[in-house]
């Protein structure tokens, strides 16, 4: 190897360098340049700088590094009442806090459901704040400064399958930290469609189909018995347990033996004049909860010109089978005016 280099050197010396020393200086300069370029390549290989061929990008700040296991935006979701009436909507509160040292921008909050049984119908922001924007499906916030905290209150309305009252609520939140986009999807809350239990009580002399149920004079006459049929009905959204419905019979009104009972048990205490209807279990949206019974009124002379009550102090209560909360209500008195009887309504005043 050394002999080859020496031979090459002697040949170039005799041919170029001996005649003109500028050839030697040029070759030496080229060798130095090659050595410098090689050293630069090696240095760049190990250093690996953030190099750009676009000089206008040199002064642009680089995107911050984000720890996705501890994102800068802290989100807390709550509701003052997990059981809600869909007519009023489910009230949701979201607290946002920018824990980082860099502003967060273009925040988009979109509630969603993990179940396909229900659907979100619309979203309504409750805050009187123009910095919150909504298209009915998501909320947009333009800016959140470092260490800034914001509260958002909104109502959600759903298209619901009433047989499934559990509503698992989730949400997707997107935002930018500098130029870097961040997206989170989390489970938020488990909402429950509030149960509803409604009762009705009405009296008939003729049924809605026109059949005569009662016996005796209409309007009622002093000293002459008139018999009416009273019906109690229940309707429920959700399952209930241990239902009790009660009412009192006023003086002059007596319970007869004729009854129609579709569910539960009807009891009467003649001493307290209390009627009590009990049902151990009320199934969601079943229409089989109805009881009918016959009462007899013998008007007194003091009741002439009056509409006489047939049932008073009508109350009901039951326990929600899902939440174990108690639901209760009361009804107006049922009287001889027969407001639901299309044939005889308005003929309830006692005559002599």
Q: What is the pLDDT of residues 223-243, one digit of tens each?
A: 999 999 999 999 988 889 999
Mean pLDDT of 322-339: 92
Q: What is the pLDDT of residues 44-83, one digit of tens each?
A: 776 655 555 555 544 545 556 666 667 899 999 999 988 8
Measured CA to CA in angstroms, residue 330 lies from 69, 89, 242, 288, 292 at distances of 54, 25, 17, 21, 18
How many C-beta atoms lie closer than 10 Å to residue 221's C-beta?
16
pLDDT of residue 58: 44
Q: Which residue has the higher pLDDT, 238 or 108?
A: 108
Asked whether residue 252 carries a pLDDT value surpassing 50, the answer given is yes
Measured CA to CA in angstroms, residue 326 lies from 172, 317, 319, 329 at distances of 35, 7, 4, 10
Mean pLDDT of 261-275: 94
What SS3 state is found at 77?
A: strand
Mean pLDDT of 2-19: 65
Mean pLDDT of 147-172: 88
pLDDT of residue 8: 64
C-alpha to C-alpha distance for 84 and 77, rounded to whole angstroms:
16
- With bands split at pLDDT 50, 70 and 90, how would you rate the model's confidence at 20? low
Mean pLDDT of 82-95: 89
C-alpha to C-alpha distance for 192 and 196, rounded to whole angstroms:
12
Burial (CB < 10 A; 0-12, 13-18, 19+), residue 123, is: buried
Q: Which residue in 3, 38, 31 sits closest to 23, CA to CA? A: 31
**Do 196-335 and 73-193 have the same topology in CATH?**
yes
Q: CATH fold of 73-193, please? A: Immunoglobulin-like (2.60.40)
Omega of the bond leading into 160 within 30 degrees of 0 (cis): no
Q: Which residue in 319, 315, 317, 263 sits closest to 291, CA to CA? A: 263
Domain ranges across the chain: 2-57, 73-193, 196-335
pLDDT of residue 6: 63
Please name the CATH architecture into which domain 196-335 falls: Sandwich (2.60)
Q: Which residue has the higher pLDDT, 106 or 116?
A: 106
pLDDT of residue 104: 93
pLDDT of residue 54: 52
- Beta strands 90-98 and 149-159: pairing type? antiparallel
């Amino acid at each position: 190897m050394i002999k080859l280099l020496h031979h090459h050197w002697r040949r170039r010396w005799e041919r170029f360098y001996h005649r003109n020393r500028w050839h030697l200086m040029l070759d030496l300069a080229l060798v130095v340049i090659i050595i410098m370029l090689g050293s630069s390549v090696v240095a760049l290989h190990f250093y690996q700088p953030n190099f750009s061929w676009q000089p206008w990008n040199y002064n642009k700040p680089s995107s911050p590094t984000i720890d996705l296991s501890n994102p800068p935006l802290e989100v807390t979701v709550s509701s003052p009442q997990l059981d809600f009436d869909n007519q009023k909507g489910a009230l949701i509160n979201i607290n946002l806090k920018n824990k980082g040292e860099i502003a967060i921008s273009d925040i988009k909050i979109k509630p969603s459901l993990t179940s396909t049984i229900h659907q979100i119908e619309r979203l309504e922001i409750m805050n009187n704040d123009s910095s919150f924007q909504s298209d009915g499906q998501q909320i947009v916030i333009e800016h959140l400064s470092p260490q800034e905290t914001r509260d958002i209150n909104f109502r959600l309305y759903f298209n619901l399958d009433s047989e499934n009252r559990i509503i698992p609520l989730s949400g997707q939140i997107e935002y930018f930290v500098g130029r870097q986009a961040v997206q989170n999807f989390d489970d938020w809350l488990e909402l429950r469609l509030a149960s509803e239990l409604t009762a009705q009580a009405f009296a008939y002399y003729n049924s809605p189909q026109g059949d005569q149920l009662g016996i005796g004079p209409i309007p009622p006459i002093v000293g002459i018995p008139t018999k009416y049929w009273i019906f109690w009905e229940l309707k429920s959204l959700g399952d209930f347990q241990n239902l009790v419905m009660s009412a009192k019979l006023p003086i002059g009104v007596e319970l007869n033996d004729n009854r129609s009972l579709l569910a539960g048990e009807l009891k009467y205490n003649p001493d307290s004049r209390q009627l009590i209807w009990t049902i151990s279990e009320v199934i969601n949206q079943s229409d089989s909860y109805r009881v009918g019974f016959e009462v007899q009124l013998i008007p007194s002379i003091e009741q002439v010109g009056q509409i006489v009550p047939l049932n008073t102090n009508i109350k009901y209560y039951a326990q929600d089978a899902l939440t174990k909360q108690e639901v209760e209500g009361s009804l107006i008195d049922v009287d001889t005016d027969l407001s639901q009887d299309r044939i005889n309504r308005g003929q309830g005043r006692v005559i002599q």
